[in-house]
Chain A
Amino acid sequence: MLNPNRREFILQSAGALGAVAILPNLGLGAYRTAAPVSVGLVGAGRQGRLILAELAKIEQVKVAAICDTDASRRESGSKRAAGSEAFADHKAMLDKLKDLSAVVIATPTHLHKQIALDCLAAGKHVYCEAPLAHTVEDCRAIAAAAAGAGKQVFACGFEGRSNPIYKLARTFFRSDAVRDFVSAEAQSFKKESWRFPAPPGSDAAREKAENWRLDPAISTGLAGELGAQQFDVVHWYLNKLPTSVFGTGAVLAQNDGREVADSIHCNFGFESNARFAFSASVGNSYGGRFEVLRGTNAAIKLAWTHGWMFKEADAPTQGWEVYANRQQFFNDEGITLIADATKLAEQGNLKEGVGLPNKSLYYALADFLMSVTENKPVACDAATGAKSTIVAILANQAVVKNQILTIDPALFSF
C-alpha cells in the first residue's frame, strides 16, 4: 500500500489540470543556466554524442573539452563541440583545464568509477551516466566519494526523475487517482544485434573493448544497460527498493557465440508482497520501451516521451477530467498526461502538448546544471543512483544464475 498523500494531491491537482502548474520549465523556451558553465565530456561515443546535442540547446553552456581514448571518436566529438579541446586521458584534461566547472561521464559503465573519483578529487561537479557502475563495490565507492565531496554536485543520469511527464504522473500515482498499488511491469524491446563494429583493421582486443556489453566479466547485461533506468522509475514511484529478484534469460535471437543473454525476464519482490515484472530482448521490437504501474483506481503507462492514465470504471471522477485529452488503445481509453497542461489549455492548445518537447536526457542535464548554478536539489544523487544500480547488478546476477536472490538491505546503507 502506498500511503496516498491526499493533501499533496489536492494541493497539486486542485482545479482544472492544476497538477501540472507545479512543474518546472518544460523547455518550451530554451533553458539558460544562471551562470556560464564550462563542461568537459568524457566518453564521446554514442551516448556522448546525444549529450553534446542536448547541451548545445542550453544557453551559457560551453563544452570546453572532449575526452576519449579513441582517436576517431575524439575527433568527431571535437567537431561537434566547436572550440573544444581534445584529450585522450581524463587526468590530462583535469590537469590542464583548471577552470572546467563540470564533467559529464559517458564512458562504458565499468570505467565510470575511476573517472568519477578523479573528477570529484579535482573539485569538479559530476554528471555520471546510469547505470552508475558495474559492481556493487564501485557503486559504493562512488557514493562514498560523492558524500565526501562537500558542495560539489554529483548527479546520476537516471532520467525519469527529471522527465516532466514522469514527475506529473508520479503526483497522480502517489494520490487517490491511482490509489493502492497492485503491480508494475516494464519492458525494453528492440531488435538489434547489440553488437558494435570496431574500425577496420582493429585487433581482437579492440573489438572486445567496443563490445563491452557482451563481455560477461564487465557487462551488467540487459538488466543493467536497458533495465536500470526503468527499475529506478519504479523505485522512485514506490519509494521502495526490492527485497528479492528472480531472473532468467537466454540467447534466443542473436546466436553468434555470445554469452550475455539477449532476452531476459526479471521479477522483483517488495516487502509489501508487491511485484514488479521486467522483460527485455534484443530479438524483437514489439511494444518498445515502457512502464506500467497499476493501482486500484487506475493504471499509469509511461513511455518516456508520452504518458497515459487508464481509469477504472469505479474510480471517482476528478474535476479536471472534462478538459483532458484522450487516446484510444483498443478497448481502453487513456487520458494523455500532458505536462504544462494548464497553460496549454488556457491557450486552447492542449493537443499540441501531447509528447515531451525535449528528450528526457535534456531535462536530466538541465536539472544537473540547475543544481550546479542555482543550488537546486539534485534530481538523482550518487546514493540514490547507486541503489538503483545495485538492484540492476543483482538482477543481472539472478539472470546469469537463473535463480532467486534475496537482496540484503545492508547493501543500500552507505
Chain B
Amino acid sequence: MLRAVGELALREVEHWHERLSRFRSDSDVARLNRGGGGRVDTELCRLLALCESVHQSSGGAFDACLGALMERLGFHPRSNGRLAGSAETDRRMVVDPELTRVTLAPGASLDLGAVAKGFALDRAAEILLEHGVGCALLHGGTSSVVALGAPKNAEGWRIAVRSEGQSRLITLSNQAMSVSAPRGRTTFAAKPSSPCDHPFGPPTASETEATHILDPRTGRPARAADTAVVIGPLGTAALCDAWSTALVVLGSRPATMPPELTCLLHAPGTGWCTHTALIPHAEPQPS
C-alpha cells in the first residue's frame, strides 16, 4: 500500500506540472497568458494570491508575471534569441479570490517556474500525511525540498547546500526548504545579435554567465546573493520558493518577510550568513 500512496503523491506532482507549466499548450498558465487572465479554481487562485502577497511584501523583488520577459531573454524552448518588445518590465496581475478570477494586464505573462515545484511538493506532502506517511523526503530537484519526520535514529534529513565551493549542512524535520541561485540555467537562444536587440542594454560577461533570476524592478539579472536558502514549516514550500527568489534579488532579509521563515544567504566574499526573524524557527545546523 505504501507504493500506492507514493504513486498518489507523484500523480499530484504530475497534476500540477500539467497545470502550471508554461510550456504545455493545455496548461492553466498557458491559457491565462493567452487570454489575459480568466477564471481559475480555488487551488490555483490560492497559489496566485500567494505570489501577489510575496510580490507586495518583497517590494517587487519577486514577480510571477515575468513570463514574456523571460521568453524574450531566451528562457523558453521557442525563443529565437531576438529580444523584441518594449523595454519596460512586464506589468502585473490582479487576483480576485472572491470571484476566483485573475486578470493580467496587457504585456503581463505568468511564469510560475519559481514556485511551481514548491507548490506541488506541498500538495504531495499533504497526501502522504493524509495517508499516514510521516517519514519521507520529497525533493523537487536541486531547489525545493519537503522533509517529513526524520530517518530512524536521526534528528532530521541532512541536506548539503553548496555555494562557491562552500557547503552548509542543514537538518530538516517537518519543514520545507527552497534554494535559489542565479546560476545553473542558460538561455535556450543564442546571444542577442546586436545591442539594440536587448531591451535593457547588452548583458555584461558575468550576466550572460548567470541570468535566469531577474530583478523585476529593473529587468536586469539579479545576483545580490550567490545563493539564498529559505526554510519554513510544513506547507510553506511554495512560500519558501518565492522568498528565496526574492532574496537573490534583495541580498538581505527584509523586515516584511514572514517571521516563520528562516533564511541563509551566501554572498561573494562574505560566505554564509543566517538571518532569522524575531521568532526563530528551526535553526539550521552549523556545518
Q: Which residues of A contact B (CB under 8 A)?
A: 27-30, 52-53, 56-59, 72, 79-82, 192-193, 195-197, 199-200, 305, 351, 354-359
Contact = CB atoms under 8 A, between A and B. Distances in A.
Given A30-B38, A53-B41, A57-B39, A197 B26 contact: no
Interface string B1-41: 10111011001000000010000111010110011001111
Interface in B54-74: none
A79 B100 CA distance: 12
A57 B38 contact: yes
Contact of A358 (B1, B4, B31, B131): B31
5 contacts: A30-B35, A56-B41, A58-B39, A197-B1, A305-B25
A305 B131 CA distance: 33
B5 A357 contact: no
A72 B25 CA distance: 32
A273 B4 CA distance: 42
Nearest to B18: A359
Contacts of A56: 39-41, 100
A196 B41 contact: no
Interface in B78-113: 78, 100
B132 A59 contact: no
A197 B25 contact: no
Contacts of A193: 3-4, 7
Contact of B25 (A82, A195, A355): A355
List 7 tightest A-B contacts by C-beta distance, closest first.
A355-B25, A200-B132, A56-B41, A195-B4, A197-B4, A197-B5, A30-B38
A243 B230 CA distance: 63
Interface residues of B, number: 27
B19 A53 contact: yes
Given A79-B42, A358-B26, 11 more contacts: A28-B34, A57-B39, A57-B40, A81-B42, A195-B7, A197-B8, A197-B131, A355-B25, A356-B26, A357-B26, A358-B31
A354 B24 CA distance: 10
B132 A305 contact: no
Contact of B8 (A79, A196, A305, A358): A196
Nearest to A82: B42
B97 to A, nearest CB: 9
Interface of B: 1, 3-5, 7-8, 11, 19, 24-26, 28, 30-31, 34-35, 38-43, 78, 100, 130-132
B130 A356 contact: no
Contacts of B8: 196-197
A338 B28 CA distance: 20
A52 B41 contact: yes
A371 B139 CA distance: 45
Given A351-B78, A355-B26, A357-B26, A199 B4 contact: no
Contacts of B34: 28, 357
Contact of B39 (A28, A59, A79): A59
B228 to A, nearest CB: 32
Contact of B31 (A57, A80, A82): A57
Point out which of B8, B25, B40 has the most chain A C-beta atoms below 10 A from its C-beta: B25
A106 B285 CA distance: 49
Given A56-B39, A197-B131, A355 B24 contact: yes
Contacts of B30: 357
Contacts of A199: 130-131
Contact of B7 (A57, A58, A192, A200): A192
A52 B30 CA distance: 18
A109 B265 CA distance: 53
A53 B39 CA distance: 10
B8 to A, nearest CB: 6
B4 to A, nearest CB: 4
Contacts of B1: 195, 197
A140 B252 CA distance: 68
A65 to B, nearest CB: 16
Nearest to B10: A192
A367 B164 CA distance: 56
A53 B31 CA distance: 13
Nearest to A195: B4
B39 A82 contact: no
B110 to A, nearest CB: 15
Contacts of B131: 197, 199-200
Contact of B26 (A30, A79, A192, A305): A305
Given A197-B4, A354-B25, A72 B43 contact: no
Point out which of A27, A52, A56 has the most chain B C-beta atoms below 10 A from its C-beta: A56
A355 B31 CA distance: 12
Contacts of A57: 31, 38-40
Contacts of B42: 79-82
A357 B41 contact: no
B36 to A, nearest CB: 10
Contacts of A192: 7, 11
A155 to B, nearest CB: 21
Contacts of B19: 53
Point out which of A27, A200, A351, A356 has the most chain B C-beta atoms below 10 A from its C-beta: A200
B213 to A, nearest CB: 27
Contacts of B25: 305, 354-357
A58 B100 CA distance: 12
Nearest to A351: B78
A145 B11 CA distance: 36
Nearest to A79: B42
A53 B41 CA distance: 6
A80 B38 contact: no
Contacts of B5: 197
A212 B100 CA distance: 34
Contacts of B41: 52-53, 56, 80
Contacts of A79: 42
B48 to A, nearest CB: 13
